Amino acid sequence: MPSFRPIDPTSAAFLLTESRNTPMHVGGLQLFENPPDAGPEFNQQMYQSMLDTPDVAPLFRKHPHRSVKTGGTLTWRDDDHIDLEYHVRHSALPKPGRIRELLELVGRLHSTRMAWERPLWEMHIIEGLADGRVAAYAKVHHSLVDGVSAMRLLASTLSTDPHRTGMPALFAEGASRKARPAEKSEGTVESPELTAARTLAELPGDALRTALGLSAEAAGMPLALVKTLRKGIRNETSAVSLAAPRTIFNQSITGARRFAAQDWPTERIRGVGKATGTTINDVVLAMCSGAMRRYLTELDALPEQSMVSMVPVGLKAQQAGIASAEGGNAIGSVMVRLATDLEDPADRLKAISRSMKDGKEALSSMTQAQIVAMSAIGMAPSLVIPALKMQGLVRPPFNLIISNVPGPRVPHYWNGAQLVGNYPVSIPMNGMALNITCASYAGNMGFGLTGCRRTVPHLQRLLTHLEDELTALEVAAGVS
């Protein structure tokens, strides 16, 4: 007897605004290094053990359903005969098995929309990297998780203990509990976030969201929200700036995606920050800004005016005036001028840092309604942006979203395999063809660039530009 449970407004909105051109799932690409004593069958065995998972956590069991019995209402229904071989897939890369082939495959996998008739997730174990590492690409519908929660979920099901074995899959019931060492082994460090996130996938709520109450409320009041946001334009505070120049990124998109990803040592980024009195996040934004400036210049498409990025920032729940299901932090957003009109990398970094500060200050002096509005943009841009467009905004409210999600600081393992790379795969949308999401992990900053395959040509070039730009910033800061 399947049970029916109503779907909260935010989850429903993510489901209903989805189209073939704008699938609404977030993803993650992980790279693992097998343990030194792994035999040739190690990966096959791990894959098989995933398929043998006896019980799947509630979050990964339910699927949306619209039935006559429920009067046509959208409900969650448990899939009682979950077909794990459908959700957990074994793939391989063609030769020569470089990162290039991996990114091409991830772009393809991220392009396909998930069907409502099954639980809204997929996990792909990918072999065939020439260097012997194994990749995992996971895909979860945005109605179930947001990016920050997905990151916490991942970390909660890994272990800091390289010798731990018998660990269940991420989607298994009790996975997060079992990842916790029975007794604290020496030399392992656990962040308080992980402790809080132990049983994420088993929460009784509908979805894993950093600020459930807030976003549900925001999704329920798009018009009031948009009104507040438009008022912001008149206030001309940078935190609510809603006018950016037109760029090639701000067009309608197609359903096909490209994905590019690479790591940079956090130490290098921090070095530039220390020498210039800016934050790691400022330097990340300056790298992105410079890389886009180079990219658009090559395409002869750089706008005269500075591009604007929406940057999600943490808000204390108290500040946001909302009750979060987990008592954790809410997410607001700041509009940052990327200073793409400035030629000098040092000037650009300085301008970005100032714009970020201005934005945060503006946020702290906002009214409650404005904060809710800004938070709604941060939490659910794919819901809010189309609403803004419908309200007749002629220029894009901002050019792209650049997020930076904090991840675990120490190495994590799954059955002895060490997580060595972690890259978010995000959601481009109509009018926002490129998304950049960064995730820190164990001394590296992983950049994940997700773009519409047609609207953002040669996406991979941005990786080279990011490296060149970090080097230029190091030179400018005198730390190279």
Query: Which residues are annotated as catalytic?
Result: 142
* The residue type at 368: Q
Q: For residues 359, 361, 366 and 372, what is the CA-based torsion angle, rounded to 10 degrees?
A: 60
User: Of 22 and 353, which CB lies nearer to a copy of itself in the complex structure?
Assistant: 22
Query: 3-state DSSP: the chain helix, strand, coil percent, rounded to 5?
Result: 40, 20, 40
Token pair belonging to 135: 């990749």
Which of 90, 230, 357, 360 touches a copy of itself by CB under 8 A? 90
Binding to a copy of itself in span 170-209, by CB under 8 A? none
Q: Is 128 in the site for a copy of itself (CB under 8 A)?
A: yes
* Rounded least distance, CB 329 to a copy of itself, Å: 37
Q: Which range of residues in 83-91, 152-160, 198-206, 272-280 is near a copy of itself by CB under 8 A?
A: 83-91
State the DSSP string of 323-361.
--TTS--EEEEEEEE--TT---HHHHHHHHHHHHHHHHH
CA distance 437 to 422: 11
Contact 287, 404 (CB under 8 A): no
User: Of 267 and 298, which CB lies nearer to a copy of itself in the complex structure?
Assistant: 298
* Rounded least distance, CB 108 to a copy of itself, Å: 7
* Rounded least distance, CB 128 to a copy of itself, Å: 6
Per-residue burial over 131-158, b if 16 or more Cβ lie within 10 Å, else e, is eebbbbbbbbbbbbbbbbbbbbbbbbbb
Q: Is 108 in the site for a copy of itself (CB under 8 A)?
A: yes
* The residue type at 469: E
How many Cβ atoms are within 10 Å of 94's Cβ, its own excluded? 9
User: Of 140 and 194, which CB lies nearer to a copy of itself in the complex structure?
Assistant: 140
Q: In what order do the strands lie in the sheet with 62-66?
A: 4-6, 74-78, 62-66
Q: Which range of residues in 201-209, 248-256, 323-331, 408-416 is near a copy of itself by CB under 8 A?
A: 248-256
Q: Is 256 in the site for a copy of itself (CB under 8 A)?
A: yes
Token pair belonging to 308: 């604007």
Q: Is 68 in the site for a copy of itself (CB under 8 A)?
A: no
429 - beta bridge partners? 432
In 3D space, the residue among 62, 24, 57, 257 whose CA is nearest the CA of residue 141 turns out to be 24
* Rounded least distance, CB 117 to a copy of itself, Å: 5
Which of 115, 204, 300, 304 touches a copy of itself by CB under 8 A? 115
Contact 419, 254 (CB under 8 A): no
User: Of 5 and 90, which CB lies nearer to a copy of itself in the complex structure?
Assistant: 90
User: Of 22 and 309, which CB lies nearer to a copy of itself in the complex structure?
Assistant: 22
In 3D space, the residue among 385, 56, 434 whose CA is nearest the CA of residue 260 turns out to be 434
User: Of 42 and 193, which CB lies nearer to a copy of itself in the complex structure?
Assistant: 42
* Rounded least distance, CB 228 to a copy of itself, Å: 34
Binding mask 32-51 for a copy of itself (x = CB under 8 A): ------------x-------
Q: Is 92 in the site for a copy of itself (CB under 8 A)?
A: yes
> What's the length of the chain?
480
* Rounded least distance, CB 328 to a copy of itself, Å: 36
**Pairing of β 62-66 and β 25-33:** unpaired
**Pairing of β 257-265 and β 134-141:** unpaired
In 3D space, the residue among 156, 145, 240, 154 whose CA is nearest the CA of residue 192 turns out to be 156
Binding mask 6-25 for a copy of itself (x = CB under 8 A): --------------xx----
Q: Is 131 in the site for a copy of itself (CB under 8 A)?
A: no
Q: Is 127 in the site for a copy of itself (CB under 8 A)?
A: yes
In 3D space, the residue among 24, 50, 258 whose CA is nearest the CA of residue 145 turns out to be 24
Which of 36, 54, 94, 187 touches a copy of itself by CB under 8 A? 94
Residue 106 has φ and ψ, to the nearest 5°, of -65, -40
Which of 80, 117, 183, 186 touches a copy of itself by CB under 8 A? 117
* Rounded least distance, CB 81 to a copy of itself, Å: 8
User: Of 227 and 454, which CB lies nearer to a copy of itself in the complex structure?
Assistant: 454
Which of 37, 68, 95, 304 touches a copy of itself by CB under 8 A? 95
Q: Is 89 in the site for a copy of itself (CB under 8 A)?
A: yes
User: Of 136 and 405, which CB lies nearer to a copy of itself in the complex structure?
Assistant: 136
Token pair belonging to 20: 């073939």
* Rounded least distance, CB 144 to a copy of itself, Å: 19
* The residue type at 451: G
Q: Is 93 in the site for a copy of itself (CB under 8 A)?
A: yes
**Pairing of β 308-315 and β 400-405:** parallel
CA distances from 8 to 73, 118, 214, 317 (A): 11, 19, 12, 20
User: Of 31 and 200, which CB lies nearer to a copy of itself in the complex structure?
Assistant: 31
CA distance 214 to 316: 12
Number of residues that bind a copy of itself (CB under 8 A): 28
CA distances from 80 to 56, 83, 118, 143 (A): 10, 9, 10, 20
Q: Which residues bind a copy of itself (CB under 8 A)?
A: 20-21, 44, 83, 86, 89-95, 101, 105, 108, 112-113, 115, 117-118, 125, 127-128, 254-256, 453-454
